[in-house]
Amino acid sequence: ASSDATEVKLPELGESVTEGTITRWLKAVGDDVAVDEPLLEISTDKVDTEIPSPVAGTLQEILVQEDETVAVGSALARIGSGAAPAAAPEAPAAAPEAPAEEKAPEQPAPAAPAAEKPVEQPAPAAQPAAPAPSAAQSAAPTAPAAGGDEITYVTPLVRRLAQQQGVDLATVSGSGVGGRIRKEDVLKAAEAAKSAPAASAAPVAAAPAAPVEVSPLRGTTQKMTRLRKVIAERAVASMQATAQLTTVVEVDVTKVAALRDRVKGEFQQKTGDKLSFLPFFALSAVEALKTYPIINSTVEGDEIVYPAHENVSIAVDTERGLLTPVVKDAGEKNIAQLAREIADLAARTRDNKLKPDELAGGTFTLTNTGSRGALFDTPIVFLPQSAILGLGAVVKKPGVVSVDGKDAISVRSYVYLALSYDHRIIDGADAARFLGAVKARLEAAQFEGDLGI
């Protein structure tokens, strides 16, 4: 490295984060980098994130390889002006020009690469010093579809989305780091396909069913990521240390659906956020937590601690695993504020932009299992919390209603709410009272004064 090289160190990523594991280098030795350009990806006990370059220059040296774990403050790489790396390509190039025969035995190593690949450009010839994975990643963006390399940049989540949308991934250009195809690329391709002329409708109708998408993971063995290990350990620890069970209620949310349809246009115009069912469920839950704080409590030894606030963890499905960013003081927020904060946290969680401290301090969890069509499930309570509320899919079906004092059949919107809880301190009656309060609030649907618009 040249004398002007700057060391890139692992920055502090939160009060409780002391180390991290390098998961992927986004740049190879010799690559130019700009200030704040993502340099590598790192995984910690709290969150996966990208480490940006603190300076502009050329990546001169990688000090920590992929899958290695280092402490906060450790040097990861060196970035300089590029003077030292620029001299590297000249040495191999000068060897073939030397006519003196006596130089051949003196420099056998540089002569060999030049003889093996006489037609290659000098820049690629200078890359042998870079780690093999990084070189592959560096080459992938220029030819993402060559030799099946695109598998590196297409996650199972994106593949499943592409299959659902009928998008051929071979025709999609990735906008992610290293040419990786992201969810947004697939959705954009799907929209483009919908706006195309309908002339091909007949051939499509006559075509056979699309072949089953076979995951590249089939028949392989993969090492657990650091995040997956943490999730696994916490899940087992919670199940072993607590007595968990689940209570489920069915809620008629027809009035909420009608209110949402009536105000969602105005809501988005004034707030910039789409109005889903989730903030209605969140508001109803935090109000019930205030009335029945045992659901919001934690166990410390032989004591039950009742927090003076409602910090709601929101389960977010990401390509790396399940993460639960926290909406702090949710009990003091209206629907617009809850919608904004939930959307912001979810987006930054999926884009690796979340701060580790934003994953801490939750007292109760909401998990929207219905977003994938599930009617309900039995979610696991993660310590130190004592309860988690699963929100099922909102579905329309026939229901019995009272019309002029008589029973009648009507099309209604229903959702299942599943509360898992720690039976060491929460009884079934406690769970039923909490769910009853949430159910009553949603079925009354008197949220006009809580919209925040």
List active site positions.
Answer: 423, 427
How far is the C-alpha of 244 from the C-alpha of 8, rounded, in Å? 46
33 to 27, 29, 58, 159: CA distances (angstroms): 8, 10, 6, 30
Query: Could you tell me which residues come within 8 angstroms of residue 2 by beta carbon, excluding any fewer than 6 positions away?
Result: 60, 80, 81, 83, 84
Which residue is it, tokens 């991934």?
Answer: 169
Query: Could you tell me which residues come within 8 angstroms of residue 115 by beta carbon, excluding any fewer than 6 positions away?
Result: none
Pairing of strands 326-327, 32-33: unpaired
Cβ neighbours around 259 below 10 Å, total? 18
Contact 228, 321 (CB under 8 A): yes
